[in-house]
A and B are shown apart, each in its own frame.
Chain A
Amino acid sequence: MNNNIIEVKNLGKKYTINHHRGNYVALRDVLTAIIKRPLFFLKKKAKEIAGIDTKEDFWALKDVSFNIEPGEVVGVIGRNGAGKSTLLKILTGITPPTTGEIKMKGKVASLLEVGTGFHPELTGRENIFLNGAILGMTKREILRNFDSIVKFAEIEKFLDTPVKYYSSGMYVRLAFSVASHMEPDVLLVDEVLAVGDTEFQKKCLGKMEEVTNKQGRTILFVSHNLSAIKRLCKKTILLEKGMVKMFDTTEKVIGHYLSISTQNAVNNFEFDQNKKAQVTRVSIKNKNDNFNSQIPIEEKFYIEIDFEVLKQTKAILSILFFSEGDILLLSSESDKDATIREYLPGKYKTKVTVPSHLFNVGMYFFEIRIHRPGVELIDFKQNINFEIKDSNDNPHSIIFNGEHSGKIATILDYQTKKIND
């Protein structure tokens, strides 16, 4: 009898491509297809039944196995599409696996989003009960923690106001507060900290730390935020193309991850019909307008953002630059004039110029956001990376021998005069 609290064995998840894209079909189309080409349809059905279907399969997860002991806090990292979210969705039971088995001991709770099921018409008090129940708390648990939830969220005065009148800050605070009062043995957490402002993220991280340290809970934490992973998790799983690439101490895994990250200059993103605006493609171009994500330090480069607006909205496009999880720079299109643009439906392309010598030699990540600061995060795409390279004709590297330290490489102007005789 082993001691593992989570056992994952040979887990696999297969999507046929049309499921995976999230496309749904219209019955009308299916019917017309049958009427127009009945033989073709029959043949296709027969093939499907016989299993010699031509549909393309896609394994989002393949042969994933790992064990986690009680009280461990384990991070899960990987590039977009590596299977992180799929793994979490299977662990939480939202979608069943195609192969393999998972055993988890004790009460399992998941937190894939804060405020799931919040209803704008209901009051704060009512939403605490509703959200709590959806998250799997019993009425008794909610009642026991009620005062503490209200206190942490700091909404005492607005307890009986419908949440549609709440500021976005209050809304998120309440949502997180309910979620953080879950009392499971195993907690599965996804990207929750991606919402809210930096201040709030700090508060959440603090609370998460408290939860992990004090109560000895087992937590699986999926995130792009490497600094959060570093802070919270002792061990980390690195997923790559649906498989476990590495499972070791966080330090080792993050180090490895940063070093192997492939250099993709063009990043395409899946289209989501439900978002009113979204980034569809982000590419990195060098000074000659060629796709390249390895940029010599002395050259400027461009970030090209393609986005599509489906519903008219006010929004700002922002880029957050990270290095090992710390924010280096938050840059917005509104930085110059401090106004929020009104975007009409349509396709847009933005070209951002990043000056030379801004970042020092090294690996950087950035995140694109379409948002209304403090109001709503419409879309965000994370984990796009580029590398600043040292090159031979860089005069600085001659002097510093490539050992120029720090993250920023801006060249400052030095004017020295001799002022005594």
Chain B
Amino acid sequence: MTNVTIIKPKKVLSLRDFKELWDYKELLYFFVWRDFKVRYKQTIIGIGWAIFQPFMTMVVFSIFFGKLLKIPSDGVPYPIFVYTGLLFWQFFSSALSETSNVLISNQAIITKVYFPRLILPLSSVATKLVDFAIASVILAGMMVYYGYTPHLSGLFILPLLLAITFMASVGGGLFLAAINVKYRDVRYVLPFFIQILMFLTPVIYPASIAGKYSWILAFNPMMGVIQSARAGILGTAPINWTLIGISFMACAVLLAIGVIYFKKVERYFADIA
């Protein structure tokens, strides 16, 4: 009997929260494992879904925006260009919408067992990361098909870009998840909001069309990520470290706001859920 549990009226945020998160890492693993198992049992096409979704979107976008509207793609074949954007965008948007619902969909567990609630959003974003890995196989396939050699330098910044996307979706997701518990109608607006955000992010068009004002767009963290992914992997432009820096800062702020708000509302999840 070494450890003593002390329960007191809660502060918003303390260092103990992070230590506790570490103590529960095994549960985090189990939640990811559960989401994954369930997902690939429920959908008949299984892993195919993780590939099918971005792939079909890419095909449709390539036909309409690439072929018919002739949107510039910085000299890269449009399918590869748009797929690189979609890969990161879908990771971000699906993680964001999943995370924003995570407290409602796990209500039964939240009201019956204690564990650091932060685990739930983290696990849903981590699950999407696996989807990302599967979907990126297609990108490799497309590069082979088009005979396009990826730039090795790009592979080095990939983890950094993933980290930024991860932070952005966790930060935004935490904030939305907490709001969602309080105001249950938010989730109906969210898909619309995410769609608008996609058009504000250079997914289907190159950021270069914004010209010298493109740095403003960098406050949208996903803009920096997608722009840099293309610059790095496809070599459309030299990697713009200032851009990555701004995106990173914006994400860090978003994450901090998300965590603080989430912890603030967390105290009464179980009471109002």
Contact = CB atoms under 8 A, between A and B. Distances in A.
A30 B183 contact: yes
A83 to B, nearest CB: 14
Given A103-B4, A139-B26, A117 B183 contact: no
A136 B20 CA distance: 13
Contact of A112 (B3, B5, B26, B112): B112
B265 to A, nearest CB: 12
Interface residues of B, number: 39
B272 A93 contact: no
B1 A97 contact: no
A421 to B, nearest CB: 75
Interface in B2-60: 3-10, 26-27, 30, 33-34, 37-38, 41-42
A5 B111 CA distance: 25
Interface string B83-110: 0000000000000000000000000111
A15 B7 CA distance: 18
B111 to A, nearest CB: 7
A97 B267 CA distance: 9
Contacts of A27: 179, 183, 185-186
A92 B186 CA distance: 30
B182 interface: yes
A126 B5 contact: no
Given A94-B112, A94-B113, A185 B6 contact: no
B222 to A, nearest CB: 24
Nearest to B1: A106
B156 interface: no
A395 interface: no
Nearest to A95: B270
A184 B273 CA distance: 28
Contact of A113 (B112, B184, B273): B112
Contacts of B273: 22
A274 B178 CA distance: 20
B113 A102 contact: no
Nearest to B106: A117
A57 interface: no
Contact of A103 (B6, B9, B115, B185): B6
B167 interface: no
Contact of B10 (A96, A105, A116, A135): A96
A103 B109 CA distance: 24
B111 A94 contact: yes
Given A110-B114, A134-B113, A91 B7 contact: yes
Contact of B113 (A19, A97, A107, A112): A112
A217 to B, nearest CB: 12
B38 A19 contact: no
A133 B115 CA distance: 10
B268 interface: yes
A106 B108 CA distance: 26
A162 B110 CA distance: 23
A105 B3 CA distance: 6
Given A27-B185, A27-B186, A96 B42 contact: no
B211 to A, nearest CB: 37
A19 B183 CA distance: 13
Contact of A134 (B10, B27, B181, B182): B27
B112 A24 contact: no
Contacts of B27: 133-134
Nearest to B27: A133
A106 to B, nearest CB: 4
A232 interface: no
B184 A122 contact: no
23 contacts: A19-B268, A22-B271, A22-B273, A23-B272, A26-B184, A27-B186, A89-B270, A94-B113, A95-B268, A100-B8, A102-B5, A106-B3, A116-B108, A117-B108, A117-B109, A117-B113, A119-B38, A121-B41, A126-B37, A130-B30, A133-B26, A135-B113, A185-B1
Interface of B: 1, 3-10, 26-27, 30, 33-34, 37-38, 41-42, 108-115, 179, 181-186, 267-268, 270-273
Given A102-B7, A133-B30, 16 more contacts: A24-B182, A24-B183, A26-B183, A26-B184, A27-B185, A92-B114, A94-B113, A106-B1, A108-B5, A110-B113, A116-B108, A119-B38, A121-B38, A129-B30, A136-B113, A136-B115
